[in-house]
Amino acid sequence: MDLGSINAYGDIIHYGQGDCDGKMFGLGKYSGKLVFWGGCKDFTTSLNFPANQWVFVAVVYDGTKVKVWINDQYQTADISGLYTTQSNLWIGAETINNGKNIRSYFKGLIDEAFIYNRALPDVEMLTIYNNKCNTCYRDADNDGFGAVNDFITDQCICPNGYLLDNSDCNDSNFKINTNAIEICDVIDNDCDGLIDEAAKSTFYRDADGDGYGDANYSVEDCLQPAGYAPNNTDCNDNDAAISPNAVEICDDGLDNDCNGLTELNGLFEFYRDQDNDGFGDPNNKISECFQPAGYVTNNSDCNDGDFFTNPSIVEFCDGLDNNCDGRPESPIFCQPPVEAVGFWPFDEKGGSVAYSKTSNVHGQKLKALPGQMVNMAPP
Contact status, residue 201 vs residue 209, Cβ threshold 8 Å: no
Report the C-alpha gap between 77 and 65 in whole angstroms: 6
| Residue 266: predicted pLDDT | 58
Which string of b and e fits 25-51 if b means at least 16 CB within 10 Å?
bbbbbeeeebbbbbbebebebebebee
Report the C-alpha gap between 314 and 187 in whole angstroms: 82
In this predicted model, what pLDDT tens digit does every residue of 10-45 receive, in sequence order? 566 666 655 555 555 677 766 667 777 676 677 778
What are the residue boundaries of the structural domains of the chain, listed by start?
A: 10-120, 133-195, 200-258, 267-334, 335-379
| Residue 6: predicted pLDDT | 42
Mean pLDDT of 312-326: 87
In this predicted model, what pLDDT tens digit does every residue of 154-210 receive, in sequence order? 777 788 999 989 999 999 999 999 999 988 888 999 999 998 877 788 999 999 999
Number of H-type helices and E-type strands within the chain: 1, 21
In this predicted model, what pLDDT tens digit does every residue of 235-289 receive, in sequence order? 999 999 999 999 888 777 788 999 887 765 557 889 999 999 999 999 999 988 7
| Residue 239: predicted pLDDT | 95
Task: Please say if the pLDDT value at position 365 is more than 50.
Answer: no
Task: Please state the separation of Cα 288 from the chain's center in Å.
Answer: 47
| Strand blocks (E) in 223-360 | 228-229, 268-272, 285-288, 295-296, 338-341
Mapped onto helix, strand or coil, the DSSP state of residue 174 is coil
Task: Please say if the pLDDT value at position 341 is more than 50.
Answer: no
| Residue 303: predicted pLDDT | 95
Better pLDDT: 115 or 148: 148
- The phi and psi torsions of 332 (rounded to 5 degrees) equal -65, -35
Contact status, residue 107 vs residue 133, Cβ threshold 8 Å: no
CATH topology of domain 10-120: Jelly Rolls (2.60.120)
Which range of 73-87, 131-145, 289-303, 341-355 scores highest in mean pLDDT? It is 289-303
Which range of 110-124, 312-326, 358-372 scores highest in mean pLDDT? It is 312-326
Report the C-alpha gap between 245 and 235 in whole angstroms: 11
